[in-house]
Chain A
């Protein structure tokens, strides 16, 4: 920590169903230096052990609504990575 620390962005990421099993976790916090998009978060997840099995363009939601991958993330956002939906 320094007094001139650049602003960081921390978001909470939720994983479900097959993706949670693939990565072996159902939630993780990601921190970025400066800004980031949903796509940046996916790239980070895909670098985790098992993450190569995540598709590069999964369905995603931020704060309970589906979003595009180029959506910017804001501090405190909850990003959910959604496997293929199978309700009904």
Chain B
């Protein structure tokens, strides 16, 4: 099974993968494309990945969740060009009872954000295009949390101005 997909993600299919008669609790998470980032209007974005490592890392994360809790886990992350509202990542976790399903689902999305080599280039309404993430956040020893949405960007093309806010 491939974790990275280029076609739209089908949550129903992902849920069907994990559901079974003995698992009465199903938790899911969707990450969808926001229309804003740090106060700027986003019109679309593009995800790219280091495919072989992203697949391997997703596999490790799912295996970790399954070893920590008695759960079935489904995970898909989309790559390529996405529009506002499109689902970028989907996770489904099913277990006998709800605690484990919620915990596993949360674990998987946090680890995906922290460890899977996927990059996001946002196209703004003003025409600027930026890779999400900043230099400091990408350095070893900086702490993974810094790599989240609050960091600055590397400006690739900038018709009207050159510095990220």
Contacts and interface: CB of A to CB of B under 8 A. Distances in A.
B118 A85 contact: yes
B139 A83 contact: no
Given A61-B53, A83-B154, A88 B113 contact: yes
Nearest to B122: A86
Interface string A47-88: 000000001111111001110110000000000101111111
A56 B141 CA distance: 12
Given A16-B117, A86-B118, A86-B120, A22 B133 contact: no
Nearest to A66: B115
A8 interface: no
A85 B139 CA distance: 11
B25 interface: no
Given A17-B48, A58-B138, A85 B131 contact: no
Given A18-B156, A85-B133, 13 more contacts: A17-B121, A17-B131, A22-B154, A57-B141, A58-B139, A84-B135, A84-B138, A85-B147, A86-B119, A87-B47, A87-B49, A87-B77, A87-B112
A80 B53 contact: yes
Interface string B12-47: 000000000000000000010000000000000001
Task: Tell me if B's interface is mostly helix, strand, loop or mixed.
Answer: mixed
Interface size class of B (residues with CB under 8 A): 35 or more
B50 A16 contact: yes
Contact of B119 (A18, A22, A64): A18
B112 A84 contact: no
Given A14-B50, A18-B154, A22-B154, A84 B140 contact: no
A21 interface: yes
B117 A82 contact: yes
B89 A69 contact: no
